[in-house]
Structure 1
Amino acid sequence: MLSLDVDAVRAFVMVADLHSFTRAAKALGTTQGAISVKLKRLEDRVGHRLLERTPRSVRLSAQGTAFLQGARELIAAHERAIAGLNAPPRHFGLGIAAHVAGPEVPALLSRLHAHDPNLTIEVQLDNSRNLLDLFDQGRLDAAIVQREDDRRDGETLAHERFGWFAAQGFDHREGEPLRLAALAPTCGVRNIATQALDVAGIKWIEVFLGGGSSAVHAAVVAGLAIAPLSYRIAPAGTIDVGAKLGLPKLPPSEVVLHSSLTDRRSRAALGALAAAFREHRAKG
């Protein structure tokens, strides 16, 4: 009967998820050379090339694609078995920015739980600025936020496009201030949007402020106001009215992951979370 080395399978899954031997080695707390050796032994064991490697890219082979789901299930079953024996419970404080959080969040947390059942995930939703402050104060273990100002640290997970979203029947009368729904004054997206309006000489007024992302979405859907939102999380039935109303284009932004975790177990869980995030963005 064919048996597989769990560590080698874990290395394969991590490389497949992160598309990089270097990032996989960092997530697993080992070296790129060690990852390569494990992958070579695994491919020799199963009798197939699982990854296609070039100097610039790493991608799954046809056999690797077929093997990936079963490999995930093997790793998850192994982690559950170990967790049931001796892995101590661990708390994981995760912040997710309101302009980043979308319908995929439950699936992301489910993937994280499957990776480590003894991990208690404490999620906090807020704007990027507040979450970065909490992370810098050591009150969050990790944060998925929009890149702020000139801060260049953190791992880039995705890119976001923004627009001016409103209900299809939104009525803006020429000469009147633009009715704006936005998050709190510390929200980076809100500040970029209002600064763009000021530079363009467009008058605006906030008629719905600080009620949280769900409340802002409700105000937009109801036709009460317009809001600067990511294309990915704009409410169903709303449209980008920026061109129609002559509003300034909003710059794109990066979604980044900040983490202070250093132990192997937590880094592996974080790697699984980042991989799941990228997968959902790619599908979207």
Structure 2
Amino acid sequence: MMERPLDLDAVQAFVRIAELGSFTRAAEAMRTTQAAVSLKLKRLEERLGFRLVERTPRYVELSARGAAFLEHARELLEVHDRALAAFAGARQRLTIGISDHVAGPELPALIARMNSQDPQLLIEIRIGSSGDLLQSFDRRELDTVIVRLHAGRSDGEILTEEKFGWFAAPRWQHRAGEPLPVATLAEPCGVRALAGQFLDAAGVAWTEIFVGGGVAAVAAAVMAGLGIAALAPRMLPFGAVDVGAKLGLPDLPHLPVLLHSRGGNGRARDALAALSAAFKSAVRG
């Protein structure tokens, strides 16, 4: 039996490092410094008597004993949260809007983990176009939105930037003499407008061959061989290829991901800090 109890803050720091794969991202999620996170982990390792994380110049990796301790660490934090929740009041609601061009395949797991970590915080997600979500945010229908850069606005906190490319199915071929078939989201999608502007500026004749209600539908149209689409690699099914250079298409810029939020109490701020850090890790790989 250990004489001293574990420091829950240090346990949380370890879990964040393990989940985000980075001391920097863990510090951002906990709204503290990388040095503070490193110190918490060092003290936890000293308390346990073994190393939890193997540090290298380029990445962090759990040790064998660290991987075994991770499940127990999560259970410890969940029990702690349930104990607090049993004597707390009604659950707080946090409504988050996320652009369809931002919400990648990792989103469900992210939200599930956030909900389990704070039983007193009910997180609701709305997916839509950046323009529509920003309008809802301005009407105070949403507490927070995570969107792409929208024309005419200069507010918001930049979380990260993501490269876009022109993607098609592996065996897709453009028929000579025909306009370039493009799969897009419906208006008012900002990525759709940007892609059209770049094609027009480059003198590329194009036509919308498929207009979908979401990125998943557009990606499916691409893999079905209907045409190409301007998308971030993170959003694509396995096997899609970048055909921009082959077709002589204009390079697309890195597009920022922005957070618009009115703040909130400590519980909501902690959840948003964790979500922001997770998005940065997902985009940067």
After TM superposition, is the score higher than 0.5?
Answer: yes
Q: How many residues align?
A: 277
Over 3 Å counting, the alpha-carbon distance change for 1:34 and 1:87 in structure 2 is farther
Identity %: 49
| Larger displacement relative to structure 2 (194-203 or 177-186) | 177-186
The answer (yes or no) to whether the contact 1:115–1:269 under 8 Å persists in 2 is no
Partner of 1:190: 192
- Of 145, 153, 156, the match for 1:153: 156
The answer (yes or no) to whether the contact 2:166–2:231 under 8 Å persists in 1 is yes
Q: How do 1:29-40 residues align onto structure 2 when only pairs under 5 Å count?
A: none
Give distance in 1, aligned partners of 2:240 and 2:13.
43
Over 3 Å counting, the alpha-carbon distance change for 1:41 and 1:104 in structure 2 is closer
Give distance in 2, aligned partners of 1:239 and 1:40.
43
Q: 5+ unaligned residues in a row in structure 1: which ranges?
A: 53-57
Over 3 Å counting, the alpha-carbon distance change for 1:277 and 1:33 in structure 2 is closer
Partner of 1:91: 93
Partner of 2:124: 122
Q: State the 1:61 CA deviation.
A: 9.5
Give distance in 1, aligned partners of 2:181 and 2:78.
49
| Larger displacement relative to structure 2 (263-272 or 273-282) | 273-282
The answer (yes or no) to whether the contact 1:115–1:272 under 8 Å persists in 2 is no
Give distance in 2, aligned partners of 1:61 and 1:24.
19
Give distance in 1, aligned partners of 2:120 and 2:220.
36
- Of 253, 256, 264, the match for 1:254: 256
Q: State the 1:228 CA deviation.
A: 0.7
Over 3 Å counting, the alpha-carbon distance change for 1:247 and 1:266 in structure 2 is same
The aligned amino acid for 1:209 is V
The aligned amino acid for 1:153 is G
The answer (yes or no) to whether the contact 1:170–1:223 under 8 Å persists in 2 is yes
Give distance in 1, aligned partners of 2:49 and 2:221.
57
Tell me the TM-score normalized by structure 2: 0.78
Q: 5+ unaligned residues in a row in structure 2: which ranges?
A: none
Give distance in 1, aligned partners of 2:237 and 2:106.
14
Partner of 2:243: 241
Partner of 2:165: 163
| Larger displacement relative to structure 2 (207-216 or 197-206) | 207-216
Tell me the TM-score normalized by structure 1: 0.78
Q: State the 1:205 CA deviation.
A: 1.4
Partner of 1:55: none
The answer (yes or no) to whether the contact 1:164–1:240 under 8 Å persists in 2 is yes
Q: State the 1:251 CA deviation.
A: 0.7
Q: State the 1:185 CA deviation.
A: 2.4
Q: How do 1:36-115 residues align onto structure 2 when only pairs under 5 Å count?
A: 70-115=72-117
The answer (yes or no) to whether the contact 1:111–1:276 under 8 Å persists in 2 is no
* Residues 163-186 of structure 1 deviation map (CA, whole Å, 9 limit, x = unaligned): 111223334223322111111222
C-alpha root-mean-square deviation of aligned residues, in Å?
3.6
Over 3 Å counting, the alpha-carbon distance change for 1:228 and 1:88 in structure 2 is same
* Residues 212-260 of structure 1 deviation map (CA, whole Å, 9 limit, x = unaligned): 2232222222222211111111233322111111111111122233322
Partner of 2:224: 222
